[in-house]
Structure 1
Amino acid sequence: MDDEPLSDWAERRDAKIGRLRAVPLVPGEGAKGSHLNPDAPRVIQRWNGYAWEPHGFASNLAAAKRILYPEAMTPPAAVSAPQPLRSGTGKHRKPR
């Protein structure tokens, strides 16, 4: 069995520190899928390297997504219009 060096494992674990997740506050056991109760309030949790700790609160799924994915809220960069085809003699061009 090939064991992974402890330093590689610790590096992978440390890369996840600060990760956020949203957990619905609904009655029942454990976390549920986010799509099941989109209007339910969410608690935002942050991974500290050992356990999930409370970090914030969101009123619904849409508000939680704005907290979790702020880069998705920025408008995309302007894309230039495609250039029209120029005349040419390539194999795919029709002869004139």
Structure 2
Amino acid sequence: MDDESLSDWANRRAAKVGRLRAMPIVFGDGPRAAHLNPDAPRAIERWNGHTWEPHGFAANLAEARRILYPDANTDPTPAPPASQPMAPGKGRHRKPGPPPPPRSRR
């Protein structure tokens, strides 16, 4: 069995100290997913190596993202996929191409 050395584990764990996360402040059993309540206020929490501790507050998801990702010029939202025409091929659902030219017989 390949066990991780204690020093490697400690270094990996120490690298996570100071990480921030934004948790929506939702009362009751409401949805806690960020995309479901983008206008809900957020509690910014910081990992201290043992537990998440309060670090700050944000008015909404956009402000929380600016706190969590200060180096990003824009919000880290995925770009829409670029439209790509179908590449040539013989896939099952692809339209057949033009027929090959007839071969001459000698």
> Considering only CA atoms, is the larger Rg found in Structure 1 or Structure 2?
2
Q: Percent identity?
A: 71
Please provide the CA RMSD for this pair.
2.0
Corresponding residue number in structure 1 for 2:50: 50
**What is the DSSP-based 3-state SS (H/G/I as helix, E as strand, rest coil) of the residue aligned with 1:73?**
coil
**What is the DSSP-based 3-state SS (H/G/I as helix, E as strand, rest coil) of the residue aligned with 1:11?**
helix
Structure 2 unmatched runs, 5+: 75-106
Corresponding residue number in structure 2 for 1:19: 19
- State the alpha-carbon separation in 2 of the partners of residues 28 and 14 from structure 1: 34
Give every structure 1 segment of 4 or more consecutive aligned residues whose post-TM-superposition deviation is greater than 6 Å.
none
**Counterparts of 1:53-68 in structure 2 under 5 Å?**
53-68=53-68
- State the alpha-carbon separation in 2 of the partners of residues 5 and 14 from structure 1: 14
Query: How far did 1:3 drift?
Result: 1.1
Query: How far did 1:2 drift?
Result: 1.5
- State the alpha-carbon separation in 2 of the partners of residues 28 and 50 from structure 1: 26
Which one has the bigger helix percentage? 1
Query: How far did 1:27 drift?
Result: 2.1
TM-score by length of 2: 0.64
Structure having greater relative contact order (Cα 8 Å, sep ≥ 6): 1
Structure 1 unmatched runs, 5+: 75-96
